[in-house]
A and B are shown apart, each in its own frame.
Chain A
């Protein structure tokens, strides 16, 4: 079965410092990996995805993530955090072996990012 682990319930970082939100996954075959962000009382917003190719993926709002196959990780990073980045972040993996291209997602439990001024 596919699964995603986000080991940190909360990450605290000062504005201007780099941030990392961790994600590891378990899936058979080659994974499709995603990061979403959720602001209070709003839906999930897509940040970035890894399908294939370059292991470093760049996404919205200056975020990036690095796919590491040997460590089965897909950590989210940003070189310089903003207070406005404070939100709930979800890592997700798509089950493989589905050939339709339309993938259901398995989400982690989320990590709350708190950026202090």
Chain B
């Protein structure tokens, strides 16, 4: 596609529920990143995929967070047993050159 697409744009869920956030990168971009942006903060790195494999998942806060990219294109960020502290905007970005990303518009997750 022309840009990075993230769905849904907004997600409200109850504490303890499971959620999936989807990212559709720019076609042909081999690198895909997930970031989390809390209110009043800059984005924080979560995980980076090179192709199908997670090359760096050092930013995932705990084992409730997991991400996959089974075919090297679309990625899904999965959050189990959501907590109110998980509320944030989750940003996805993709890159081909490695020195500049294209970000999606993000998914605003609200845990109530």
Contacts and interface: CB of A to CB of B under 8 A. Distances in A.
A109 B41 contact: yes
A92 B50 CA distance: 21
B26 to A, nearest CB: 12
Interface in A65-111: 90, 92, 100-110
B91 A43 contact: yes
B59 to A, nearest CB: 8
Report the interface size class on chain B.
20 to 34
Most chain-A Cβ atoms within 10 A of its Cβ — which of B33, B101, B106? B101
A11 interface: no
Given A104-B45, A104-B56, 11 more contacts: A36-B103, A46-B102, A51-B99, A90-B43, A102-B55, A102-B95, A105-B43, A107-B42, A107-B43, A109-B42, A110-B41
